[in-house]
Structure 1
Amino acid sequence: MILLCFSGCFVLIRVPDFMPCCSDHPSADVREFACASISRVVQLSQNIPGFLQRDAVRKLGPMLLDRSLAVRETATGALRNLSACGVQEVCEDMVKHDVMTPLTALLREVRRRRRRRRFYESSSQALSVFNKSGLLDVVVQCLERHPDNVELAISAAHCLHTVTEDNPELLCSVNAAVLAALENVLLSSQADMAHTLLRTLAAGTLWNVKGSIPAARQAQMLNAVVATLSRCLDLDAGALIPKLREAEDARHKSSTAAADLEDQAAGEPTPEDEMEEEEEAPKQKRNGKAVKVDSDFSDLLPVSGQELREATALLTAQQTSLEIIVNVCCSDDPSDDEWEEESSSDESDMGPDGLCDGLSNLMSPLCLSAEVHGALINHSIPEKVLKKTEFPPKEALAVCQQDPSWRRLIKKMQRIQSRALTCLHSILSAMDAESLGGPAALQEAAQHLSKLVFGNTEASKEEEFLEAVISAMRSLLQMLASKNIPQCMTAEQLMSLSEAATRCDVVSVRVNAVAILGITGGTLAKEKGTAATLEMIGRALLQVATKDVDLVVNGEALDALFDVFADGEEAEAAAKNINLLTSLKTLQPVFKSKIRKEGRGKYNPQQLCVLDNIKVNLRRFIGYLEKVVKK
């Protein structure tokens, strides 16, 4: 809801209703205000459906070509926020209402006018329009303006980073001129945070288009990209943000003092006088009571401020750097043919004492090329990523809490921590133990992750954080187990983690939690005096295998049970004490039936392959337990 003043009368209306009536208004100020209002309000995703239902996109599109430059800028910002804060369907709705036609015309005009513009996230159809419209050269020209218009260059760099990802159709258009423009940005030396963000986005774009780079130059490009990401991660946001906030306060005090002196010299009212006048402002009747009318809509307008922009650019650059490193570490998914081969493997290949690998086979370490591996190690990327997994510093959080406009940075700092944990998971999956510092370094990292999970109860309730930290912990514990390196989690911590995960709605969190139980239980089964702990783990896994509503989680719990109780005197004793054989015999037909009834329509081929393997493993494991009982 917003309060508008028309001819001295105040009217309270909904912004979605306000937009259609103002998009054709003869006053450019009114049109600009309408766009600015939407730009701010749609940052709350729950407001977006109301705008879509009232054809806001159809009204905003033509305003990209409004005769007023200010209206064009605010309309572009509103569309950008709609796409960034909404789901994929919002982008598709924007393309459906032909927003690409005015946007294409706007981008072409940029080439002539060289003005600042924003770009919005793409859908597959939008990418196709971009590819066919020859907009790459236009955006690159905007990028080349970075020495004298860094904001325009950043908008162009965001666009390039987005449209070059998983877009092979565009790669044929990436020529020497495009590569030269990106390399020039990478070599820029400005130390401000805006240029740091710009270089990071250029690095990500170069990685996306690496297939277009001549083979003789790829090693040089790779080193430049990783070096750029490394320097970005070196920056200490915890120290820089308080300094920027302090600088903003000092600037405001200085400008206020100067303005007061000018006002006094001119005989104009001081701020104290204005406050007194404001207290005498006319009041209106509302619900029978006198209320003061507030016509200040500044909170609906885009946030400005040099220091806040610097802090935002810094955090955006570091988040983007971590996301690029994840892409560097991850290989392509296996082809459908490989999944078919995996699924159709002959049961006779399994030895009498072994089981096919189930989920663990599909999560084996990735392979990095020697060049990528060397670049990541030479620039200390694993250590720098681990550093970023720490909680945001209290000092930075405190200064951001003091001002509503800075408060948004708290979520950005928390997101960087989650991205760093996801990045750590990718690094652990892609490198060997020796490259990561050996047993001592891995144990130290495991202790650090344990502190993250169990040292902050509030953070452990956040799904994004929990999903990231538990996947990193799974990868690390798997590496420790494969090298027979002692693990650091106590039985109480294991159960606490399991309980937290079972309450989480995110399937991957529950999958990783039971996998951690299996990894730790499998290690404990080789040690003496661990039967009681194994019983506790076994009961927890049976509960998940039986009660969880998701078949993938059921299957992972069964796979973990196989790991824990596959061998050893301690495991045999624990299995008998919890009646594992009877429980699994009861569960077997239920699990097979769920795969048959739910599998084909609900799960993808990769998941079905794993579930089929676990079904086979379950039958064989029951046979193994029957032999143990007959001893």
Structure 2
Amino acid sequence: MGKTRKNKRLIPRVNPLGIPSNREVDENEELFGINDHPEGPIQAIFEQLQSVSVEEKMNALQSLALMSASVDKARVLSSSEIIRVAAPLLMDRSQPLRNATAGALRNLSVCGVDVCENLVEQDVLTPLLALLNEYAMNPTWVPIFDQELNNQLDEKSDTFLQAINLLWNLCESTSVALENFNQTSVVQSFIRCLDFNVFGLDISIAVAQCLLVISEDNANCWNILNNFVQEFLCLLNIDGDPSHALLRTLAAGILSNVPALAAAHSAKILEALAKTLDLNHREVLGSITSKLPLLEEQDTLIDVSDNPNAMEEETDEAASRRRRLQELPTEVELEVKSIERLLEAQRVAAETITNICSSDDDEWADDDNDENSDAESVHDYENSNNSSTNLQNIDRLPVDILEAIKSLGLIEKLWQRAQPIPENVYLILQESKTKLSKKVRSLRLSALLCLQNLCNTMTTEDLGGPDAIYGVWLDLGQQVFQGPNDIVILEPATSLMRASLEHLKHSPELFKQMTLSDLELILNGLQNCSEAEIRANWLRMLGILGCLLSEPLVKVIISFILETCLKEDEVWTISEAIDALMDMFSDNDWEQISFELNLQQKCVELEKIFKTKIRQQKRDLKDRYPAVMTVRTNFTRFVKYIEGQMKNYKPQRVS
């Protein structure tokens, strides 16, 4: 065993959870001396990696891992020659170097798609897949859990854990990584790692997360997974803490990704997901807030030069053990990790339900695409003005799935996960060095999107009836107008409001109490919104409300839509507004309003603007182009209809 010269210095405690601050990153760069290099820290790391000294390489890899906390630095690092030098160390004879390299590259890979693409371009996959193949070719390998290290994995097993996480991130970010992975034969050998009683929850969860990613729309993987049905079905029945819930949920997600397995086991999959959504995330988040300040106190530096047991020279194994002792998570960090896994499990559950209830198959989801909701079929305004058919009275889900959703109470459970947590709790989470606030946000986002999808695929009665849907619509409105203006949450929230309102087209009695001040909240929200998608949702809602409200409020809506169209830059949003305008005339002529607002002239002017913007933005519309063209065709007929209407109309005289 080789020896390393240990310089007396402070050793930074790597935070196992969360992301170090920029200040900490800079301090650690100074600690390793890389800022002193005349050509900068990247060149310093580059030279350290090429050193014959194991300790120099270890210092370089730890610097690389720490610098990954900054996304900007990660992007520079991932595109540099440092990666080409570091990646081969995944296959180094030194196990500590393998472990440090896998950890550093994994840290880099969480910094975004562009970083992962750079890593693939710098040929990380060749040594990574070679490393994983070593484990695959060794059927006797199992982890060793060190009781002196709080049952932490041995270094070789931890290297596998880091490598699997790295592969997962790369395959999720770039198709090139997935294509390369498909050419290997390691999937089958790693199914055994799902046995958490042997391999531990950390490895089983990481393997399951990787399988969830690579099994999505990947027929090559399906053929293999079909041979391990019982292994996945067994995981659907496990109970325990949030880590067990996450593994159960991931197994359900993997089964749902394989068409044959999803069809055969949909009831069991949904039962497993319902069990995950039963857990109350708000309670556990409230309980952790008082402990989060302790994480700040634990983020300290350990002075090994004052340790009487520290030797001037230590073996590689001893140095590695010292580093692992230094990085052991505390009780609070383990509790945070458990809560993060709960939030992740519930997010995956919501996304899996969305996938199960969505389909590209014509027999199931003819109306799931946006064109049907965003641009109705051509309507002949000259010859027909009858009310449109209610598209919300037909379920678009298989009976077994529909019955499971209803019997398991999935809508109610998803609605609870979509609720904002108390503002004081959220602020504490944001100020902490954990990922909890981001995971709470991601959970809300996924739950809202799932509920929107269910609104588009289930009947009004199966969703709980008009009164229940109206309650959801009101609650969402209060959250949108009274809560923080978070664009990420605002888009799915307004999309769900829009989908909910579609179910209320034939329930005008619910809106009798709506006043001008209530309506102005929506109008003001639209005026202050910078996102075209959200503006389109607002406009769609206005069109539906225009079919439900009294004439004075309808006049305000029509006037507002016309003004918005004349000022709007995005042709897609204009098409949504025009479609909303036409919807309001499907059940009522509104002749007096048309006369008072000079609708005929304004529509002629708007038609010219609309056609011009279509020509200008045609290439940007992409898959939305057909829907926009349908609106254009409809609007031409609508303009002619209004012209004919006004020719024969005799305005009412006010006495």
TM-score, length-normalised on structure 2? 0.77
Correspondent of 1:580 among 587, 591, 599: 599
The answer to whether the Cα contact below 8 Å between 2:547 and 2:584 also exists between their aligned partners in 1 is: yes
Partner deviation per Cα, 1:216-243 (whole Å, 9 max, x = no partner): xx1xx21221112111111112212344
For residues 408-423 of structure 1, the aligned pairs below 5 Å read: 408-423=435-450
Output the CA distance in 1 between the equivalents of 2:626 and 2:105.
42
Matched AA of 2:642: L
Paired residues of 1:368 and 1:430 also in contact (CA < 8 A): yes
Question: Match for residue 11 of structure 2?
Answer: none
Equivalent AA in structure 1 for residue 588 of structure 2 = G
Equivalence map 1:183-582=2 (5 Å): 183-189=233-239, 191-212=240-261, 218=264, 221-244=265-288, 305-332=333-360, 352-354=383-385, 367-394=396-423, 396-397=425-426, 400=429, 404-406=432-434, 408-456=435-483, 459=484, 461-484=485-508, 486-487=510-511, 490-524=515-549, 527=550, 530-531=551-552, 533-568=553-588, 571-582=590-601
Provide the rounded CA distance (Å) in 2 between the counterparts of 1:440 and 1:344: 27
The equivalent residue for 2:17 is none
d(CA) in 2 for partners of 1:384, 1:64: 44
**What's the CA shift for 1:14?**
5.7
- Distance in 2, matches of 1:69 and 1:504, equals 54
Counting aligned pairs with the same residue, the percent is 27
Q: In structure 2, what is the Cα distance between the partners aligned to 1:50 and 1:103?
A: 21
Deviation at 1:48, TM superposition (A): 3.2
Contact kept? 1:197, 1:317, Cα under 8 Å: yes
CA contact (8 A) 2:190 2:207 kept: yes
> 152-161 or 424-433, which moves further after superposition?
424-433
Tell me which residue corresponds to 1:294: none
Matching residue of 1:280:
none
For 1:622, what is the secondary structure of its paired residue?
helix
1:75 alignment counterpart:
101
* Matched residue type, 1:203: A
| Partner residue in 1 for 2:150 | none
Q: Hey, what does 1:156 align to over in structure 2? A: 207
Which residue identity lines up with residue 124 of structure 1 in the other structure?
S
- Deviation, 1:371, is 1.2
Gaps of 5+ in 1: 257-266, 270-296
Partners of 1:331 and 1:394 in 2: how far apart? 37
Compared with structure 1, are the counterparts of its residues 242 and 512 closer, same or farther at alpha carbon in structure 2 (3 Å cutoff)? closer
**Residue 615 (structure 2) aligned to one of 596, 600, 607:** 596
Aligned mates of 1:210, 1:235 — CA distance in 2 = 28
Give 1:511's aligned amino acid.
A
- Give per-residue Cα distances to partners, 1:533-589, cap 9 Å, x unaligned: 2232223212332222221111001111112244536x3332322222111101212
- Please tell me whether the aligned partners of residues 185 and 198 of structure 1 are also in contact (alpha carbons under 8 angstroms): yes
Contact persistence 1:237–1:314 (CA under 8 A): yes
Name the CA distance, whole Å, in 2 between partners of 1:356 and 1:60: 67
Letter in 2 for 1:602: D
- Asked whether the equivalents of residues 388 and 416 of structure 1 are also in contact (C-alpha less than 8 Å), the reply is yes
Equivalent residue runs for 1:75-224 within 5 Å: 75-87=101-113, 89-111=114-136, 112=138, 113-114=141-142, 115-116=157-158, 117=161, 118=165, 119-121=167-169, 122=171, 123-176=174-227, 178-189=228-239, 191-212=240-261, 218=264, 221-224=265-268
8 A contact 2:90–2:97 mirrored in 1: yes
- Give me the whole-angstrom Cα distance separating, in 2, the residues matched to 1:389 and 1:168: 33
When structure 1 is superposed on structure 2, of 363-372 and 428-437 the one drifting more is: 363-372
Shift of 1:164: 0.5
CA 202–345 in structure 1, closer or farther in 2 if over 3 Å, else same:
closer
Superposed displacement of residue 350, structure 1: 7.3
How far apart in 2 are the matches of 1:542 and 1:515? 13
Contact 1:171 1:212 in 2 (8 A): no
Instruction: Calculate the aligned-residue CA RMSD, in Å.
Output: 3.9
C-alpha distance 504-401 of structure 1, shift in aligned 2 (>3 A): closer
> Does the CA-based 8 Å contact 1:39-1:302 persist in structure 2?
no
- CA drift of 1:379 comes to 1.0
Find the aligned partners of 1:193 and 1:435 in 2 and give their Cα distance. 31
Bigger drift between 59-68 and 32-41 goes to 32-41
Residue-by-residue CA offset, 1:149-198 (whole Å, 9 max, x unaligned): 1101111011000000111232222232x222222222223x12111111
Per-residue CA deviations over 1:239-269 (Å, capped at 9, x if unaligned) read 1234456678999999x9xxxxxxxxxx999
**Matching residue of 2:88:** 62
Q: Taking structure 1 as reference, are residues 75 and 366 closer, same or farther at Cα in structure 2, changes over 3 Å only? A: farther
- Structure 1 length normalisation: TM-score? 0.80
- How far 1:478 moved relative to its partner? 0.9
Q: 1:77 to 1:6 in 2, by over 3 A?
A: closer
* Structure-2 change in CA distance of 1:566 and 1:401 (3 Å): closer
User: Deviations 1:304-331 (Å, cap 9, x if unpaired)?
Assistant: 6321211111111111111112112222
Change (3 A) 1:102 1:446: same
Alpha carbons of structure 1 residues 148 and 493: separation in structure 2 relative to 1, 3 Å? same
> Which residue does 2:313 correspond to in 1?
none
Higher relative contact order (CA 8 A, sep 6+): 2
Against the structure 1 CA distance between its residues 471 and 398, is the aligned structure 2 distance closer, same or farther, given a 3 Å change threshold? Answer: closer
Task: Determine if contact 1:62/1:102 at 8 Å carries over to the other structure.
Answer: yes
2: distance between equivalents of 1:423 and 1:344? 22
Please tell me whether the aligned partners of residues 62 and 100 of structure 2 are also in contact (alpha carbons under 8 angstroms): yes
Aligned residues of 1:507 and 1:550 also touching (Cα < 8 A) = yes
Which residue of the partner structure matches residue 293 of structure 1? Answer: none
- Code of the aligned partner of 1:621: F
* Alignment-derived partner of residue 315 in structure 2: none
On the 8 A contact 1:172/1:212 being kept in 2, the answer is no
Shift of 1:57: 3.5
Question: Following the alignment from structure 2 to structure 1, what is the Cα–Cα distance between the partners of residues 56 and 518?
Answer: 59
| Between 243-252 and 418-427, the greater mean CA deviation after superposition | 243-252
| 1:275 alignment counterpart | none
What letter is aligned with 1:610? A
The answer (yes or no) to whether the contact 2:252–2:273 under 8 Å persists in 1 is yes
